[in-house]
A and B are shown apart, each in its own frame.
Chain A
Amino acid sequence: QQQVKQSPQSLIVQKGGISIINCAYENTAFDYFPWYQQFPGKGPALLIAIRPDVSEKKEGRFTISFNKSAKQFSLHIMDSQPGDSATYFCAAAAGNTPLVFGKGTRLSVIA
């Protein structure tokens, strides 16, 4: 019930391509869905987040798509760049409850 399932585990994308990472959840009480970017040796940094009252949110090259009925949300990185190479975590929370993280996706963008 508390899990967030993330896929794929790793992803290799050509520079300029689109990176897509998917997450699914079970707990319908979740009302906050952030994506975090983590570089080696650093803490997770908030990239973009969405609430269930919208189906899509875009910030620059990063877009979250949210499907409430399917209980799924995804991160799209347009025009992927080598500097985007990092580990990406989806997460979910209900109110002030602790974030539940997915297992992460290691993205490598190759030139």
Chain B
Amino acid sequence: EPEVTQTPSHQVTQMGQEVILRCVPISNHLYFYWYRQILGQKVEFLVSFYNNEISEKSEIFDDQFSVERPDGSNFTLKIRSTKLEDSAMYFCASLDRGRGGYTFGSGTRLTVV
């Protein structure tokens, strides 16, 4: 069964450093999303991406965050200057055009120290 692949599985970074989280969505999917989940809390929407541009973003997705699809397969989330409160699991998801469901990757655990 097709999968959404995320790398790395765990990233530890110093506060103020930049991090890039990578995702390879399912190849024929057209809609891409980033979500995050702070430990023990619910899954929160960050941003959606369609047709090579952001289609929607939440209030969490401030100027420190950016997304891009640099090569037609990878989908990246960049956090420019990490803060302690950015520590969370970050999940990538993709959705096809039809009536199928969203498929989530297994996540990147980001720890900011």
Contact = CB atoms under 8 A, between A and B. Distances in A.
Bound pair (A, B): yes
Interface of A: 32, 34, 36, 41-46, 49, 51, 89, 91, 93, 96-104
A100 B45 contact: yes
A91 B6 CA distance: 22
Given A34-B101, A42-B107, A43-B105, A98 B43 contact: no
B18 interface: no
**Residue among A36, A93, A96, A97 with most chain B CB within 10 A:** A96
B7 to A, nearest CB: 13
A32 B6 CA distance: 25
Contacts of A98: 33, 35, 45, 48, 56, 58
Nearest to B102: A99
A51 B44 CA distance: 22
Contacts of B93: 99
Interface in B83-108: 89, 91, 93, 95, 99, 101-107
A43 B106 contact: yes
A89 B99 CA distance: 20
A98 B58 CA distance: 10
Contacts of B31: 96
Contacts of B50: 96
B91 A51 contact: no
Contacts of A91: 43
A24 to B, nearest CB: 15
A111 B104 CA distance: 31
Given A97-B48, A97-B56, 14 more contacts: A34-B101, A43-B6, A43-B89, A44-B91, A45-B104, A46-B103, A89-B43, A93-B102, A96-B95, A98-B33, A98-B56, A99-B35, A99-B45, A102-B42
A51 B99 contact: yes
9 contacts: A36-B104, A41-B109, A46-B101, A46-B104, A49-B101, A89-B43, A93-B102, A97-B56, A98-B35
